Amino acid sequence: MPIDAIRRAEQSDVDSLIAVLRAAFAQQVPRLGLDEESAPWHPAFRRRPRMLEEMERFTFFLLIADGQPAGCIAIETNVDEARGGDGYIGRVGVHPDYRGRGYARLMMTFAEAALRDRGCRHVHLVVHAELTELIDLYRRLGYKVVGHRRFESGGLSFRLTDMRKALLQ
């Protein structure tokens, strides 16, 4: 599981972030019945303008392995209570060439520590309910399901699972 670094992504990393997100989330496209027209918000269809907008809202980190961008994760602080309060983790993606090495778990631990260092007491994340393997992963990492809701976009309707974990006791 050796990595070179997990480091904060800069504006100059935008193309690397896009490449990791597109590759990491591509397998969800057929499973969720997505296409770029109906779901331009999905990370598998990430384009530069939206990525730059997200980089203004979230703090992104890149995992570098073998000198290459292998994964990414984003955090957000000061999240309103309606979205779970305190901190948020999203855009967790590992490039398919680097899966099975524990990188998702490593990035989650890193992101939780970054949120804890920023004073967050809890962290919230959202998963498509159909992606049960991700829900299981987050449960193994200590997250609890706190609710479900519908998300509608471009004629598509999804059930989302909200999860939460205490960072400070």
Instruction: Taking residues 115-138, report their average pLDDT.
Output: 92
What is the pLDDT confidence band of residue 101, given thresholds at 50, 70 and 90? very high
3-state secondary structure of 21: helix
Instruction: Taking residues 137-162, report their average pLDDT.
Output: 91
The pLDDT of residue 119: 84
Q: For residue range 61-70, what is the model confidence (pLDDT) as tens digits?
A: 999 999 999 9
How far is CA 160 from each of CA 37, 64, 152, 163, rounded to the nearest angstrom? 20, 30, 10, 10
Instruction: Taking residues 94-123, report their average pLDDT.
Output: 94
Q: For residue range 37-52, what is the model confidence (pLDDT) as tens digits?
A: 888 889 999 999 999 9
Q: For residue range 66-84, what is the model confidence (pLDDT) as tens digits?
A: 999 999 999 998 766 665 5
The pLDDT of residue 3: 87
Residue 108 has pLDDT above 90, yes or no: yes
What is the pLDDT confidence band of residue 118, given thresholds at 50, 70 and 90? confident
Bigger pLDDT: 2 vs 63: 63
Average pLDDT, rounded, for the chain: 91
3-state secondary structure of 166: strand
The pLDDT of residue 80: 61
All domains in the chain, ordered by first residue:
5-120 (3.40.630.30)
Say how far apart CA 57 and CA 157 lie, in whole Å: 25
Bigger pLDDT: 156 vs 27: 27
Which residue has 């999203």 as its token pair?
90
Say how far apart CA 140 and CA 158 lie, in whole Å: 24
